[in-house]
Amino acid sequence: MSYLAYSIKVRAVLLLILAAPIALELYTEAPSCGHGTVLEGRQCVLEGWQDEWKEILMNLNYDNSIIMVEEGDHVRMRFNSSKDSDHFLPKTFTLSAFDISTKIPVEGEYTVDFVADKAGEFQYSSTGLCKVEIAGGNTVIVDCSIFCGEIGNARTGTIIVEPVILNDLDESNRSK
């Protein structure tokens, strides 16, 4: 084997060793799951919760969506871009008020769980790609800013957590 052929093979192997972890996203930050949640595999789930969920289908096709929940709700946001999305495919989701920042796989289902433990209006954001049908019935996934003219490839919205109002009987029992 000539020196040149050997040198090319060595460079190719080094490139694979250095590029593979990046391509496999091994050097990415771990998602932040929020208060009272843990990372199981690639999903954030509540610790020890066995009761009912307030399940929300996260359709991010439109900007400035409003989601309403009550304080104390155990919220499960379900993302299923390949099934539920007409156009926008989220790749990230951030809800800073509840310490949630996570990547979302473009294909398949993904859930984000959290406890709505504080009342108020909280902004969320999502970055992603666009799904576009082209002539011939094919679908392609593209950068929104290039194909659609959207700036930022992002969606934003508001989660409104309504406060729980205790009646007089509940108030008197709490003071005991």
Q: Give the CATH number of the domain where residue 65 resides.
A: 2.60.40.420
Report whether 66 contacts 160 (CB < 8 A). Answer: yes
Beta strands 65-70; 154-162: pairing state? parallel
Give the strands of the sheet with 43-46, arranged side by side.
37-40, 43-46, 109-115, 74-80, 54-57
Report if residue 18 sits inside a domain.
Answer: no
Report if residue 152 sits inside a domain.
Answer: yes
Residue carrying structure tokens 């509840």? 98
Q: Which band of pLDDT confidence, cut at 50, 70 and 90, is reported for residue 24? A: very low
Sign of the C-alpha dihedral computed for residues 70, 76, 80 and 84 taken in this order: negative
What integer pLDDT is reported at residue 12 of this predicted model? 56
Report whether 69 contacts 116 (CB < 8 A). Answer: yes
Count other Cβ atoms within 10 Å, centred on residue 8: 11
- Strand partners for 173: none
How many domains does the chain fold into? Answer: 1
Report if residue 147 sits inside a domain.
Answer: yes
Element (H, E) at 133: strand 120-134
Report if residue 92 sits inside a domain.
Answer: yes
Report if residue 98 sits inside a domain.
Answer: yes
Report if residue 6 sits inside a domain.
Answer: no
Report if residue 1 sits inside a domain.
Answer: no
More confident residue, 98 or 11: 98
- Model confidence, pTM: 0.63
Euclidean distance between CA atoms 59 and 113, whole angstroms: 16
- Tell me the helix, strand and coil percentages in the chain, rounded to 5: 20, 40, 35
Q: What is each CA distance from 95 to 74, 143, 144, 159, 168, in whole angstroms?
A: 15, 23, 22, 9, 34
Euclidean distance between CA atoms 147 and 164, whole angstroms: 45
How does pLDDT run across 40-98, given as a tens digit for each residue? 656 666 666 556 788 888 877 666 689 999 999 999 998 876 665 667 788 889 999 99
What integer pLDDT is reported at residue 59 of this predicted model? 76
Report if residue 36 sits inside a domain.
Answer: yes
Which domain does 57 fall in, by range? 31-174
